[in-house]
Amino acid sequence: MHIKLKSLVSKLLVFIIFSTTGCQYNRVNTKKRPNIIIFFTDDQGYADVGCYGAEGFETPHIDRLASEGVRFTNFYVPATVCTPSRAGLLTGRYPKRYNLHEAVLFPFSEGGLSLNEYTMAEMLKDNGYTTSIIGKWHLGHKEEFMPNNQGFDQFYGVPYSNDMDHYYYKDIDFQSPPLPLYRNKKLIESGPDQDYLTKRYTEEAISQIKSRGKKPFFMYVAQNMPHTPLHASPAFRGKSEKGLYGDVIMELDWSVGEIVKTLKEQNIYDNTIFIFTSDNGPQIGSAKPLRGKKAQTWDGGQRVPAIVVWPDNIPKGIVSNEFTTSLDLFPTLAKLSGSRLPHDLKLDGLDISNYLLHPESIKLPERPFYFYARNGDLEAIRMGKWKLHIEKSLGWPLDKNGAFPVSLYNLDVDIGEKNNVAGQFPDVVAELTHRVKEFEMELQ
């Protein structure tokens, strides 16, 4: 009798838990939960994709992907450089919240993404997904911070940027080792030939897709390219009119195509959410017609190409001007995968799942977005059509113009941030400045 009573109580508790967390589930049929692939490139600019206006090279596979889902023209990342942008993607939270917002991690760094942070991989793994990362991690190379301790079942790739390969940091007299290539926690190669990294990552992704189990999978393909130094395999060298940079992008496009082709051959493409985007603006590529580049809080540093496809559920051929960010992917994928989230988890991203499913009938709300510079300072805010810059550490010739003037731009009519209208709209300047101060106080 005691055992039966205990069983009854347990069942009642389970019923209560699922009843109170039911709002965390999406109405999409979760009996056949989607596979999820995030294809994340490194330093690929806003105009470094054919359908975004690329010149000198073609990206037919990415363009075809865009025609099969939603292509965003107002998609931002929460940082101008690698580490904090990747942290924001995987946590749905501003990196300032866990002190990973300044610069990037180096081979001599001791820290990494806090183990107190709940990653996208942990969320999906906790809800029945297998999880893997292929490519660049850059959230801490010490074992405690590596992917297998952050929710990923599998890791095949490198712990930081390809330019850190055997690099000598003369200011601190530190010699980096040859770029380490890992499979899970095991170092399998030192200083791999970078000409073949894109190809090897692609082959690994294909292999994992073909050998998948019965569970839905989450795959984070974080390519090293087109971060400098540029590398392409012999099959792609000389392919483009834009030299090696164009060759590199064309190989990344090939990679997207090979993965999509495999998904189709395995008859799982229609129920796979495929997301293509970049970690920040370009170092040597193009962000036209945006102002600025990587490491700058002008839009060229943080507005990036982004495409979301899910053939079974997302309409085709949508070009969206709605404001969205990589922080939105965490809560959105939680909803679309039918996953539960901890009740005390504070996310900065917005669940845009209903918009993705019905982009022609839903409008997203206006909300503030904060731009943190490479030095860790909060330099700008966007709200609706307005973007206010309050200071500038990079991308402004201080030696010629003196102190940076508070600058306001109407991005609806001035996408290149050329016409400062702060003097014409003092109320907007005051309101956005107040929001910046409030947000900084919140994060102290």
Active site residues: 82, 138
Q: Are the C-beta atoms of 38 and 259 separated by less than 8 Å? A: no
Alpha-carbon gap, residue 49 to 73, rounded angstroms:
12
Summarize the chain as % helix, strand, coil (round to 5): 35, 20, 50
CB 278 within 8 A of CB 42: yes
Query: CA–CA distance from 27 to each of 73, 334, 357, 358 (Å)?
Result: 27, 12, 11, 13
CA distances from 396 to 229, 298, 370, 376 (A): 26, 10, 19, 17
The Cα–Cα gap between 155 and 157 comes to 6
CA angle 402, 295, 105 (to 5 degrees): 125
SS3 label, residue 168: strand
Give me the helices (H) in 68-221, please.
Answer: 82-91, 120-126, 197-210
* DSSP codes joined into one string, 364-386: PPP-EEEEE-TTS-EEEEEETTE
Amino acid letter, residue 245 = Y
Identify the H or E element spanning 428: helix 426-442
Q: Is the dihedral of CA 338, 343, 344, 347 positive or negative?
A: positive
CA–CA separation, 418 and 29 (whole Å): 47
Helix 243-265 × helix 197-210 angle, to 10°: 10
Question: Could you tell me which of 57, 33, 169 has the C-alpha nearest to residue 105?
Answer: 169
* Nearest partner of 59 among 286, 215, 219, judged by Cα: 286
Query: Amino acid letter at 220?
Result: Y
Instruction: Give yes or no for a contact between 121 and 207, defined as CB atoms under 8 angstroms apart.
Output: no
